[in-house]
């Protein structure tokens, strides 16, 4: 699995820690920025990450609360972004929702917990079956609005 990762200015420090952690696990990481804490707009970086999502690449987005990046990323066709606040949510995001973008709040989450949530999400497997039926309905909403 490859990971595209981005943040806003509030998430830069947590992003650096996650990039280093993922690279230590030999996961290919594409850091789309930003690279310092100069104020930026999170939708720009949510789009950069979302545009890289495919069968081999998932994403991680970080802003102050995680709310803004999750809303922005979910506007992109094919993205299933999940804001998580604990390991159980991270696991369910993958197992039941096949989330391909994990969203974190840098001001709400300590780095140790963020790493644990990322690891849990990466290692979880989508269960399919009834969950696929529900994802198909979400895709239908996304494409037809009905």
Residue 12: Cβ within 10 Å count: 19
As a whole number of angstroms, the distance between CA 110 and CA 113 comes to 6
**Which residue in 63, 77, 103, 131 is the catalytic one?**
63
- In the annotation, is 63 catalytic? yes
Give the bridge partners for 31, in sequence order. 5
Radius of gyration from C-alpha coordinates of the chain: 14
- In the annotation, is 96 catalytic? yes
**Which residue in 21, 77, 96, 131 is the catalytic one?**
96
Question: Which residues are identified as catalytic?
Answer: 63, 96
């Amino acid at each position: 699995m490859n990971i595209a990762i981005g943040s806003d200015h509030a998430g830069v420090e947590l992003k650096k820690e996650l990039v280093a952690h993922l690279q230590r696990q030999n996961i290919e990481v594409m850091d789309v920025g930003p690279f310092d804490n100069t104020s930026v707009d999170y939708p720009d970086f949510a789009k950069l990450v979302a545009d890289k999502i495919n069968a081999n690449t998932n994403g991680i987005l970080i802003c102050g609360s995680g709310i803004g990046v999750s809303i922005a990323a979910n506007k992109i066709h094919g993205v299933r972004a999940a804001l998580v606040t604990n390991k159980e949510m991270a696991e369910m995001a993958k197992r039941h929702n096949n989330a391909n973008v994990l969203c974190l709040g840098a001001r709400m989450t300590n780095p140790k917990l963020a790493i644990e949530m990322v690891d849990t999400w990466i290692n979880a497997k989508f269960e399919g079956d009834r969950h696929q039926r529900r994802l198909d309905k979400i895709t239908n909403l996304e494409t037809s609005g009905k």
